[in-house]
Amino acid sequence: MTTLLNYIKKRTNANCIWLMRQAGRYLPEFRKIRAENSDFIKLCLNEDLSSEITIQPLRRFEVDAAIIFSDILLVPYALGQTVSFKKDYGPILGNLNYNQIFKAEERKFLEKLNPVYGAIKKTKERKELKNKDLIGFVGAPWTILIYMLNRKSPKNKDIIHSLNDRKFIDELLKIIIKFLKLHIENQIKYGATIIQIFDSWAGLLDMNNYDKYIYEPTKELVRFTNSKNTPVICFPKGINDYKQYVNVVKPDVISIDYSVDPKEISENIDITVQGGLNPNFLLGDKEELKTNVKKYLDIFKNKQYIFNLGHGVLPNTNPNMVDYLVKLVKNYS
């Protein structure tokens, strides 16, 4: 069993914590590397630097897991769609070459992503990771589909491709699922002990489309990952019904966003819960942070719970506040 989930099952006194985006943009040691590597995709595909960035927060904080420094958009990249990142804007994806996507070869896909697997292997061998989990991840099929079609973050629900072209969408979704499985399999092969599935844009869909685009495709990935004896954390940000999601998709852990009432989750969901704290609290004062951290720890005190945020660590977060947060969680009783 994974170290992280083993803590949970045994209900030891050690409260578990790791943070989404704990490796990266708020750490000065990361910003130094980033300043020397302007191409974000190339940085993700530099196995030495990716491994180094992954380990950086473990040197500072007593977190219980590392999450590999990578990006969910490496999958569209490996399928042949261009991907770049513009400062203060986000990802920009190129036009879809339908023939190229539908004729994508597993061998070429894996060749492009081999540095990711190399980074996982290198990280697994580092002394800082001893007795800690290494989390690999993918974007959920729906989120990857929307990025590939929209070619940028659909933050204003400005999806430019109609979902009415059912035949095309169905075929593209099958391709995405196939290669997400391949990416998951190889992350596990090289050392990932947990897989997290990020459905960043689950909140864009109305509930009538959940089965087709969220529940069934994600459930397929969960079953596949579990068949590799690896647990799955699912983070369906903005989903309307977490209980129904858990009942249908059946992840090992459900990660909740900060818009959700944690008390309701605690009362209605029986599996391990992760996250929930608004990352903005790390930008305020320590007393406010302490009050809100204690709220989550109190609510989930007698439940299986992994402390985390309801989204990623924000770029302007002071690392000292993260250190304070980790110590708060570890010292809670």
Give CB contacts under 8 A, 24+ apart, made by 253-261.
Answer: 253/5, 253/306, 255/20, 255/196, 255/308, 256/310, 257/310, 257/311, 258/309, 258/310, 258/311, 259/310, 260/310
- What is the model's pLDDT at position 157? 56
- Write down the domain spans for the chain: 3-331
Active site residue 147: yes
Tell me which of 7, 21, 215, 242 is the catalytic residue: 21
Q: Are strands 83-86 and 90-93 parallel, antiparallel or unpaired?
A: antiparallel
Choose the catalytic residue: 26, 77, 147, 305.
147
pLDDT mean across residues, the chain: 93
Provide the percentage of residues in the chain whose pLDDT is more than 70. Answer: 93
The correct CATH number of 3-331 out of 3.40.50.300, 3.20.20.210, 1.10.10.1590, 3.40.50.12780 is 3.20.20.210
pTM, two decimal places? 0.95
Instruction: Report CA 91 to chain centroid distance, whole Å.
Output: 16
Please write the tens of the pLDDT for every residue from 132-175: 999 999 999 999 999 999 888 776 555 545 566 778 889 999 99
| Annotated catalytic residue 26 | no
Confidence of residue 13 (pLDDT cuts 50, 70, 90): low
Which of 7, 26, 64, 71 is catalytic? The answer is 71
Q: Is residue 223 annotated as a catalytic residue, yes or no?
A: no
Please tell me the predicted confidence (pLDDT) of residue 98: 85
